[in-house]
Structure 1
Amino acid sequence: MAQTKTSRNRTTLQNNLKGHRRMKDHAAKSAQFRTMHVKGDPLVLYNIWDAGGARTVERAGAKAIATGSWSMAAAHGFADGETIPLDLVAQLVERIAVSVDLPLTVDFESGYATAPDEVAENVRRIIRAGAIGINFEDQIVQGDGLFSIQDQVQRIKAIRSAAEQEGVDLFINARTDLFLASDPSEHEGLVDEAIRREAAYKDAGANGFFVPGLDATRLIKRIVDAVSLPVNVMMMGNLTSIRDVAQTGVSRVSYGPGPYRSAQSDLKARFEALQ
């Protein structure tokens, strides 16, 4: 009986020590990740979808690891738009996190829920899996349009509160889908709305502002000059040179599904060359 109690006490102590080390590791990586967002000298995130890809870009000199939701879903036979099960996402995030020493940020789409409290609980799972950052979009996934500013603010506040309860200074990269969901001819007219959303998201607890789909450097610079959060763009369309994009003052560039598509094209071409 005494041995059983001693064994239990030892297990509890070991779990507490592991939890303490995890918290210290999260804190260090979170602080490190924040310093990487420098205006005009952007952090480059080449989005991956599994632990093998994470290790590869780490060895290639990446400063941080970022997943891509489209890529992760496609790599496991699912369509984008939160159709990949959350349990599988959490499992993949954990495998990626333990496979590399770099900070990990996860493309978490719209949080796999609508209600703020449900989103918060889902984000807890991703934090516990090892993420120190997330992309969090204002698109209504599997629905129409975007969440209102007021609704998205409540969702971001819930995430921030959950992260604080977990003891993690989570980097919330607030993504607006204003540009990705519209024609480029409409983009200039959406800039003011994007600036309003950035201000509200910042006040709610966001740390970064992501504007995928916007590829006009003139408009990107207009947003950068008007907001206070680090701005993230996706390298697509007219955005082909990191050096040129850096001149707009962005603090972060990412590649979304591009790396996965390139990898699959290369795989297809290599197989066809065998014929």
Structure 2
Amino acid sequence: MSENKKEIQEGHEAVTFAEFLENTPPSSLTEINDLVEATYYQSGGISGYTLAKPEIQLHCPNDSCNGTRFFRCTTRNSISVSEDFSFEYISYICSNCRQTEKTFSLAFKRQGGEGIGSCYKFGERPLYGPPTPSKLIKLIGPDRDTFLKGRRCENQGLGIGAFVYYRRVVENQKNRILDEIIKVSEKISAPAESISALKEAKGETQFSKALSSVKDSLPQALLINGHNPLTLLHSALSEGLHNQTDEYCLEVASSVRVILGELSERLGQALKDEAELNHALSRLLQENSANKASKGTQ
């Protein structure tokens, strides 16, 4: 315990306990302005201090939620807080679906009697960080676990590790990504030469050549602010790691993740839009046919 206490360093601006749990990454010691709550004797004197258990708002991935929801603490016992560090796990559950859980590993101590204290987050489960979109997980398919390893590296500030994992995912799933782009291209009747180029790129074994060969073949619906996402990924991932800092690799890795996520969303939206359009056309054509048939029988 004493060695862990020595590793904890002060130095963060005070926030609420809810903000700390929601937004502060692991390995962070932060001053909390409402960490503890006083307990009282019947006579009115303070009998001690316990850890506050605020409601927090987190993303819930459950199908019935799939968005930000309130989470409430399920750790029922009162946790005493002293002026020395205590080490505890506290758990939360989604108030909506009552299925998604979140557990935090914390060290905390109070500072005086005004609710103020310090809290250190060792980790949390599920892991800290914004949720990975379900469409992105579907797009990368078999490399889900590799991608999540990269996500963990990114959350922990390990830029080179995140870069290597993300590059492996894109290289391994090149054909899967191209298949989804071809599917959209065929749905929206893209030019035949563009579809042909995309199919030929699947047969290219060299990752760099495959992506560069289709730089002008993507449908407008998949462009990100006018830019081809495959070109952006190729530019980022073709750079070597030699002589690059971990901070630089972290920035590039984060950008690769964001572009992949946006591409997966645009692929899904393009297919959805096309499906809705086909449904609307079908309904109107059926209605038109029914009207003509009705007039013909009069």
What's the TM-score bracket when you normalise by the shorter of the two chains?
Answer: under 0.3
**Structure-2-length-normalised TM-score:** 0.21
Higher strand share: 2
Higher helix share: 1
Q: Which has the higher contact order (CA 8 A, sep 6+)?
A: 1
**Structure-1-length-normalised TM-score:** 0.22
